[in-house]
Structure formats: C-alpha cells, structure tokens
Structure 1
Amino acid sequence: MRLNKAARVILFGAPGVGKGTQSERLLSRFPQLNTISTGDLLRYNVKNRTPLGIKVEGTMKSGGLVADDLMLRLISNELFTRGWLKGQGPPSVITLASEATTSTEHSSYDRPPIDTLVASPFHFDEHTPPRVSNDPAASFILDGFPRTAPQAGTLDKIVPINLVVSIKTPLSVIMERIAGRWVHEPSGRVYNTTFNTPRVPGRDDLTGEPLIQRADDSEEVYRARFRKFQETSEPVLNHYAKKGVLVEVEGMSSDEISPKLYAEFEKRFVK
C-alpha cells in the first residue's frame, strides 16, 4: 500500500508488548516506510570507532543513557544525510551511521575539531529551522527516542512527529508471553511456548542448539522494568497528546493490534 505523504512515527509500548513485530509488519505493508533505530546508529558508531562511538562506548557498556545532546545530533544528522531535512546544515557532530557519509570526502560543510564536535552543546537555530520533507519516501518509524518529555520538545524543533502510537496489552498477557519466551542466544532467534514454538522443544530450529531463558525475563525483573516504563513514558505520551498526534491501540495479541494500527496509518497517510 502506498503512502501519499510522509509518516513520521513513534511506537510506544511496554517491554514485550510487540513493538518489534508491529514495526516489521508496518514496513512490509507500507514499502515507503523506513526505520531509524537510535540503538543501531549508536552501535554502528561504536563498532566503527567514530568520535561519537568512542565517546559513548563506556556509557553503553555500563547500561547508562547517552546524553541528550549526542542523541539529538545523531538523529538530526541521520535525517539530513538521508535528505529528509533541508536548510541549515546538520548540527556539527560526529560521523554518521549511513555508509555514504563515513568519509569526510562526502561532507558538504566544514567540521570543527573532533573534540569540539563531540563535547560542545547541541545548538539549534530557531530563527532558521530546517525544512522537513513531506515526500512519502521520507517516512520513518523512530525507535529508541525520545525517552523524556524534554527530549520530545527538542525533537519537535528538528522534525515534527505526526503520529505517536501507544500500544497497550494487559500486563497479565505480557507476563504470559515473557514466561514462555526462549531464545537461541548466538543468533537472537526468539521462540515462545504459546506461539512460534520450536520444532523440537528446547532446541533451535536451524542449529539444534539449546535454547535459554534470559535472566531479565524473570517476573521480578520484568515487573521492575514495567514500572520504570510507566514512570518515564507517561510525561512523553502527555506531551504528544497535547499536540494531538497520540492514539492508543489496544489488543490481546499482535494479530489483533495490527489491523487497528494499519487503519490509523491509512486514515492519516493514505486517504
């Protein structure tokens, strides 16, 4: 199905609610959609030893949150690189995740010294805001950002998000999924005893190697993650509700949620 204008989307939902499944289904149904994963961008920079990667490596290894300044630079640079933002040049920063921009030969603007790029505060010129492309090919799902209301407010100045979906499934259902989840650790393949069962119980379909249950899939750990999610997500969702772009989609399963999600997309970006 073809979009007729740019969809700039964020999916919200508790851990285990199925955001990854819904993202994959949306990308398949709407070929113009892209995904921008801040986690993938950060890991790319760490792997390739860019100035940003070196700066954030310790924070990521310790499980901490990367500073807002660097996250905003990362996202805005990615959008400029893809041609989805025009106007003032990208906030001078770092090397980008896109393959085409990993060399300074491709840079269209002068960069200050590396230490300045990484350490200087994020600056946004409100007098000459960037122009956002409304081309359907500039459609994306942003994954991993924003996590706080102040982050959402600053992101608004860079690129206006036009749909935020809060995916809701009862906690009891999520807990059942978590309890039945088994993982092939080397590949990351995920199975579940209530759906997507392995052909041989406890064994990976492709390699036959044993499956494990992750330590953070315990009920105690999950309930702590769920409470943390509720605390941090409420202010962000309130921010987008005030802007009139928030919708809630509820369901007991991914198959129940997907048609509702498709309908929201079609109402806003197809018709």
Structure 2
Amino acid sequence: MRLLIVGPQGAGKGTQASLLAEHLGIPHISTGDIFRANVGAGTELGVLAKTYMDAGDLVPDEVTVAMVAARFDEPDAGRGFLLDGFPRTVPQADKLGEILIERGEDVDKVILLEVPDEILLERMLARGRADDTAEAISRRLELYHTETKPLLDFYAGKLVEIDGVGEIDEVQQRIRTALGH
C-alpha cells in the first residue's frame, strides 16, 4: 500500500503515520528523517541540502525529490510506504507522480488529518518550543492553507478525510476503519 498523510502542522501526522505504518508493515517515510539521514551520512544530496538549510533557505524541490526517490529504492519500501511531509505542493505532487509512474506504481490513498486552526494553535503553543510563537504558528498555518491545500483537489479521488481531533487511539482507529484495515 502506498499512502500519503497530509494536514497542517500540529495535526498529529507523524504520530498517526508511525502507528499506521507499523500496523501495515510498511515504512513511515518522513522527509525530515530523510534530510537528517542524508545530511548526517554526508551523501552528495545531503551536502547539497545542508548548503541551503545553513543559508536559511528551503531545499529546492529537485533535491527533495531525489532524496525521496532514493528512499523508495531501499528494500523495506518494496511493499509500499507511508509518506509524511511530502508532497507539500502541487508541483511536488507532479514530481512524485512521475517517480511512481517510472516504477509502475501509484499512490493508493491520501489521508487528510483535519483539525481546526484554533485547536492546532493550542496544541502547538502547548508544546513549548521556542519557534512555536503565536505569530510563527499563524504564518505556518497560512502557508499550509495557500500551498498545501491545493493538494486536496489534486488527490480528490484518493482522499480519505479523517477528523484529527481526539485521543491518539481514536484518531488511529478512524484511519484504519476508513482504509479498511
């Protein structure tokens, strides 16, 4: 099964993706983890990505796409994957589609964790992270709404909308039920 999980920051994507991937026996592929692994290992792509990150810039799509494509080649991804944090934009989704077509694969379902902005703000402020100020959170949510929400139309036929409010186990059960697992 090839799945994507999308939703705003603070919706619980990482937590839910880890639980679901373990349940399905597929890897949870987080772009954050891919970046850290490539930078830490000093791969060619990692060194390139680090130059952008050190300058405070976003890593270009080509570099991110290349890292994701390389991750799909690892043996544990042969039976499928749960991709978290990518794609975030329609151009990235187009590139992902190209990668998968070359492999004779496609995305099966896209899980959308829906959580109202007010609850996301409360959740992120409660984490107590230095970069989680009300202003910074509002900017990140605005970016989500303008850049990531268009993915919902792109993946309309594959979208599984999940209420992301509630206990972790409740949300996980909603996801599994919606996927028929």
Q: Normalising TM by the smaller chain, what interval?
A: 0.7 to 0.9
Report the TM-score when normalising by structure 1. Answer: 0.59
- Residue identity opposite 1:216 in structure 2: D
- Work out whether 1:147 is the aligned partner of 2:88: yes
Q: Would you say how many aligned residue pairs link Structure 1 and Structure 2?
A: 175
Separation in 2 of the partners of 1:24 and 1:154?
24
- Residue identity opposite 1:233 in structure 2: T
Structure 2 contact 12–164 (Cα < 8 Å) conserved: no
Separation in 2 of the partners of 1:13 and 1:65?
19
Change (3 A) 1:180 1:77: closer
Change (3 A) 1:234 1:142: same
1:211-258 CA distance string (max 9 Å, x none): xx22222222211111111111122221111xx111211142234322
SS at match of 1:180: helix
Aligned-pair CA distance for 1:18: 0.8
SS at match of 1:70: helix
1:175-224 CA distance string (max 9 Å, x none): 2222322xxxxxxxxxxxxxxxxxxxxxxxxxxxxxxx222222222111
Separation in 1 of the partners of 2:125 and 2:48?
37
Q: Percent of counterpart pairs with the same letter?
A: 34
Unmatched runs of 5 consecutive residues or more in structure 2: 101-105
SS at match of 2:155: helix
Change (3 A) 1:223 1:77: same
- Residue identity opposite 1:21 in structure 2: T
- Residue identity opposite 1:249 in structure 2: I
- Match among 247, 259, 270 for residue 160 of structure 2: 247
Change (3 A) 1:173 1:255: farther
Aligned-pair CA distance for 1:68: 1.9
Cross-structure match for 1:158: 99
Report the TM-score when normalising by structure 2. Answer: 0.86
Change (3 A) 1:257 1:81: closer
Q: Specify which structure has the bigger relative contact order, considering alpha-carbon pairs within 8 angstroms and separated by 6 or more residues.
A: 2
Alignment of 1:201-216 (within 5 A): 213-216=128-131
Cross-structure match for 1:15: 9
Cross-structure match for 1:221: 136
Q: Which one has a larger percent helix, Structure 1 or Structure 2?
A: 2
Larger radius of gyration: 1
Q: CA RMSD in A?
A: 2.0
Aligned-pair CA distance for 1:43: 1.8
